[in-house]
Structures are given as C-alpha cells and as structure tokens.
Amino acid sequence: MSDQAPAVSPGHLYVVATPIGHLGDLSPRAAAVLGSVDRILAEDTRTSGVLLQQLGIQQPISALHEHNERAQTEQLIARLTGGETLALISDAGTPLISDPGFVLVRAARAADLPVVAVPGPCALVAALSIAGLPTDRFTFIGFLPAKGGARRQALASLRAVPHTLVAYEASHRIVDTAADLAAVLGPDRPVMLARELTKRFEQSVSCPAGDLAGWLQADANRQRGEFVLVIGGAPVAASDEVEAAAVLKVLLAELPASRAARVAAELTGLPRKRLYEMALMAGGGDDR
Ligand code: SAM
C-alpha cells in the first residue's frame, strides 16, 4: 500500500492554478489533482483541452464561465454534496483572479463543502515579484475601464494611494493606458511593465510613467501579448496632502482658515503654514 496521501478526497472542490505561459510551471501536485478528480471545470474547454492533452489527462471536462456560472452552480454543489470531486481551472493562472469561479467557491463555502487551493502561477504575483517596487502592501485593480474617460477617472481616484498598484491590461489598450498613467498620475510616477511573462518573448521594463508610451511605440512587437502594469504608490507628501485637504474641508465648514489650519496641523502633523495656504486655496476666509 502506498504511504502517499491520495491526490484528492471525495466531495472536495480543488481550485487549481495552471501556467500563465510556461507549461513547466504546472506543479506536480496540480497535475496529480487534475488527473484524479471526477470532473474538471474549465473557463474554456478548448483552451484547457490543449493543456490537459499535453499532460495526458483524460478526466471529463465541462465549461464554467461568466455566462453559465450562476446557472451551473446549484447542480455543481449537488455533485460535490453527493461525493464527486471537482477541479476548477481557468484559461491561465489562478482561477478567480480576474477569472470566473467566485460564484461557485462562495456557494461551496456557504454549503460547508471543503474548498482546497492548489496554488501556482499568477501573473499579478509574478510581476510584483520582479517589479522592484514596494510589495509590503499593494492594491490589485484588475483591468482598468476600457473607455478612455472612465479609465482616467478610475486612475484619478487612485492618484493618492500611497502603496503599489497592480493592473492587468490588454494589448490593444496598452499604449493608451500608458499615456493615461502619465497624464493622470504624473510623468515621474515609477512603473514596471511586464509582458508575456514566462513565455518566449517575455520582457519587462522599469521607467517613469512619462516614458512608457514611447517605449511601447518604439517597437510594435512591444505592444503584443499580455501585460501586467505595476505602478509605484503616490509620493508620501502628495498622499498626505490629499488626506489633509479632506480634513481641512470638514474643518473649514465650521472654522475660519487660520484656526482650521491649526487644528488640521495637529491632526495630520503637516506644517501649519502649508495647511493655511491650502485652506485659503480651498476658499477658507482669512481671519488673521
Ligand atoms: N487568472 C490569471 C492570473 O492568475 O494571472 C489572469 C487572468 S486575466 C483574464 C488575463 C490577464 O492576466 C491578461 O490580460 C494579462 O493582463 C495578465 N496575464 C496573464 N498571463 C500573463 C503573462 N504571461 N504575462 C503578462 N500578463 C499576463
């Protein structure tokens, strides 16, 4: 009898990460789980069919994507409850990270069914790990809006975030998004662009936001493939001032400018003189 635990247990839902390019990144455990479950749920059965064929895995496969996830979830929960083992995979990387699966995983947890992660590749983590930007805290913003106005608005709402931002982007929008980064966050904001991670034409570049669109336009090949953008956080002074402006706004509703500046200085630790200037600019009355 083998002393190795079986790869899967009855009634479990396995959330399995698959490669984001390089087949060698599929873990032996992921292969064992995919080769042992009763059924594999895939975002696109044709895309995943190729991967599974390469691995010699012949488990039954069905589609689970954003259009049928809600409709499928009830019967999938019934299958799990009946003791079937299921594996969820997406086209690339970790399911649920800008990919389907949330509805099913939430329902499985609500039904107290075991949900097990089989971790592995994820483009956002891979990009972050090579960006050379702070990783102690970061915000993943998924895909920015496709339309320019909405995209710039979304970026403006993130302008003061002091920690690293990570975004996914498609090839047909990468140049416009790069230009918007510089226009909205400022040309000096540090960025790292990773394209085609783990693939043949993998490339990554670190530069100020103001240089990124030019770098992409210098060679049409640089605009091809899949992209992750890692964006440095707002300079501390800028984010402090945004916070101070919000504090001042509240104070100025009740107090004249100099008193509002004095209270704001105590609350934020910023210089009173600078806060007084900001209060006057915000329309506070000069009572000195
Ligand atoms: N679930 C996946 C993951 O774990 O990274 C991401 C799925 S999302 C629909 C696809 C996006 O991820 C692409 O448009 C691109 O922004 C990013 N991406 C995926 N693979 C990539 C790669 N090899 N290099 C760079 N970005 C990649």
The total of other beta-carbon atoms located within 10 Å of residue 288's CB is: 8
Nearest atom in ligand 1 to 97's CA? 1
The distance from CA 137 to its chain's CA centroid, rounded to whole angstroms, is: 13
Give, in words, the CATH class of 13-121. alpha beta
User: For the chain, what are the domain ranges?
Assistant: 13-121, 124-231, 236-281
CB 140 within 8 A of CB 163: no
224 CA to middle of ligand 1, Å? 13
Q: Which residues of the chain have pLDDT under 50?
A: 1
pTM of the model: 0.84
SS3 readout for 78-109: HHHHCCCCEEEECCCECCCCCCCCHHHHHHHH
- Centre of ligand 1 to C-alpha 12, Å, is 26
pLDDT for position 271? 82
Q: Give the mutation target among 15, 16, 20, 165 for probing the ligand 1 site: most ligand atoms within 8 A of CB.
A: 20
| Tokens found for residue 32 | 């064992």
Could you tell me the sign of the dihedral formed by the alpha carbons of 242, 244, 250, 253, in that order? negative
Q: Which atom of ligand 1 is closest in space to residue 96's alpha carbon?
A: 1
Q: Cα(164)–Cα(255) distance, rounded to whole angstroms?
A: 36
pLDDT of residue 1: 43
Q: Which atom of ligand 1 is nearest to the CA of 202?
A: 24
- Nearest-atom number in ligand 1 for the CA of 168 is 16
Helix, strand and coil content of the chain, in percent to the nearest 5, comes to 45, 15, 40
Mutating to test ligand 1, I would choose from 173, 224, 226, 231 the residue with most ligand atoms within 8 A of its C-beta, which is 226
pLDDT at site 6: 85
Cβ neighbours for 218, distance < 8 A, ≥ 6 positions apart: none
Cα 169 to middle of ligand 1, angstroms = 8
Testing ligand 1's pocket by substitution, the residue of 23, 122, 201, 227 carrying the most ligand atoms inside 8 A of its CB is 227
231 closest CA partner among 208, 215, 213, 214: 208
Q: What is the DSSP string of 135-192?
A: -SSEEEEEEPPSSHHHHHHHHHHTTT--SEEEEEE-GGGHHHHHHHHHHHH-TT-EEE
Task: Say how many Å lie between the first and final Cα of the chain, rounded.
Answer: 88
C-alpha of residue 25 to centroid of ligand 1, in Å: 14
Supply the pLDDT for residue 157.
95
CATH 3.40.640.10 fits 124-231, yes or no: no
Q: Which residues contact 249 (CB under 8 A, 6 or more apart)?
A: 282
